[in-house]
Amino acid sequence: MTQPDDDRVKVVPEACEALARAVVGLGAYHMNSCVRCGLCAETCHIYRAEPEPANHPGVKVGKVIDHYRRYHTFLGRHLPALVGAKDLTPRALDELVETVYGRCTACGRCGLHCSIGLDVGAVMRAGRNLLAAVGKVPDGLQRTVDNQLESGNQMAIPREELQSTADWLSEDLQLEMGDDEVRVHVDEPGKRVLYMVNPREVKFFPLSLMAAAGVFHAAGESWTMSSKFYDVTNYGFYSGDNESARELTRRVIEEARTLGVEEIILSECGHGFRSFRWEGPNWMEQAYPIPMRSILELLEEYLDCGRITVDPEKNLDRVTLHDPCNLVRWGGIAEPQRRVLKRVVKDFVEMTPNRQDNFCCGGGGGMLSMSEYGRRRVASGATKAEQIRATGAKIVATPCHNCADQLIDLSKNYQLGVEIQAVVELVYNALN
Amino acid sequence: MTAKIVLALCILWAALASVVQVLVARGSGRTDYAVRRGNPLRGIIYNFTVAMTPAHKESVRRHPFKFVVGVVMHIGVLVCLLGVLLLLVGPSAGVGVLAWARPLAALSLLAGLYLLFRRCVDVNLRAMSCPDDYIAILAVCVLVAIVAFIPLGVIGQLVLLIYASVLFIYFPLGKLRHAVFFFVARADFGRRLGYRGTFPPVAGGLE
In chain A, what is the greatest distance between 2 CA atoms, to the nearest angstrom?
Answer: 81
Residue B190: its pLDDT value, please? 96
A191 shares a domain with A132: no
Q: Please judge whether A58 and B124 are an interchain contact, meaning their C-beta atoms are less than 8 angstroms apart.
A: yes
Residue A23 lies in a domain: yes
In this structure, the dihedral spanned by the alpha carbons of residues A379, A384, A390 and A394, taken in order and rounded to 10 degrees, is -100
Of A32, A34, A54, the CB nearest to B25: A32
A84 shares a domain with A17: yes
CATH code linked to domain B2-24+36-196: 1.20.950
A385 shares a domain with A341: yes
Q: How far is B90 from chain A (nearest CA, A)?
A: 33
A152 shares a domain with A129: no
Q: Average per-residue pLDDT in chain A?
A: 95
User: Are residues B188 and A29 in contact, defined by beta-carbon separation less than 8 angstroms?
Assistant: yes
Residue A350 lies in a domain: yes
Residue in B106, B85, B87 with CA at minimum distance from that of residue B156? B87
DSSP label of B41: H
Q: Please judge whether A36 and B125 are an interchain contact, meaning their C-beta atoms are less than 8 angstroms apart.
A: yes
Total domain count for chain A?
3
Read off the pLDDT of each residue in B44-64 and give the average, rounded to a whole number: 93
Per-residue pLDDT tens listing for chain A (432 residues): 445 556 667 888 999 999 998 887 667 899 999 999 999 999 999 999 999 999 999 999 999 999 999 999 999 999 999 999 999 999 999 999 999 999 999 999 999 999 999 999 999 999 999 999 999 999 999 999 999 999 999 999 999 999 999 999 999 999 999 999 999 999 999 999 999 999 999 998 899 999 999 999 999 999 999 999 999 999 999 999 999 999 999 999 999 999 999 999 999 999 999 999 999 999 999 999 999 999 999 999 999 999 999 999 999 999 999 999 999 999 999 999 999 999 999 999 999 999 999 999 999 999 999 999 999 999 999 999 999 999 999 999 999 999 999 999 999 999 999 999 999 999 999 999
A249 shares a domain with A378: no
Residue A156 lies in a domain: yes
Residue A1 lies in a domain: no
Per-residue model confidence as pLDDT tens digits over B10-35: 999 999 999 999 999 888 778 899 99
Residue A2 lies in a domain: no
Residue A108 lies in a domain: yes
Among A282, A301, A320, identify where a domain stops.
A301
Residue in B187, B178, B185 with CA at minimum distance from that of residue B74? B178
* Pairing mode, strands A318-321 and A292-294: unpaired
Q: How far is B167 from chain A (nearest CA, A)?
A: 15
Q: Please judge whether B127 and A119 are an interchain contact, meaning their C-beta atoms are less than 8 angstroms apart.
A: no
Residue in B114, B119, B142, B115 with CA at minimum distance from that of residue B130? B119
Domain carrying residue A56:
7-136
For A203, residues 6+ apart whose C-beta sits below 8 A from its C-beta are: A155, A157
Among A242, A267, A301, identify where a domain stops.
A301
A318 shares a domain with A297: no
A210 shares a domain with A173: yes
CATH classification at residue A413: 3.40.50
Say which amino acid occupies A359.
Answer: F
A147 shares a domain with A130: no
B127 forms beta bridges with: none
Residue A263 DSSP SS3:
strand
Cα–Cα–Cα angle for A86, A87, A92, nearest 5°? Answer: 85
pTM here is 0.94
A116 shares a domain with A160: no
A193 shares a domain with A129: no
A184 shares a domain with A95: no
Residue A4: its pLDDT value, please? 52
Among A85, A103, A136, identify where a domain stops.
A136
Residue A413 lies in a domain: yes
Q: How far is CA A88 from CA A10, A68, A122, A191, A242, in A?
A: 8, 9, 19, 50, 20
A94 shares a domain with A181: no
CATH classification at residue A75: 1.10.1060
What ipTM did this prediction achieve? 0.93
Q: Average per-residue pLDDT in chain B?
A: 93
Per-residue model confidence as pLDDT tens digits over B82-138: 999 999 988 888 899 999 999 999 999 999 999 999 999 999 999 999 999 999 999
Mutate to test the interface with A, among B114, B124, B207 (most CBs of A within 10 A): B124
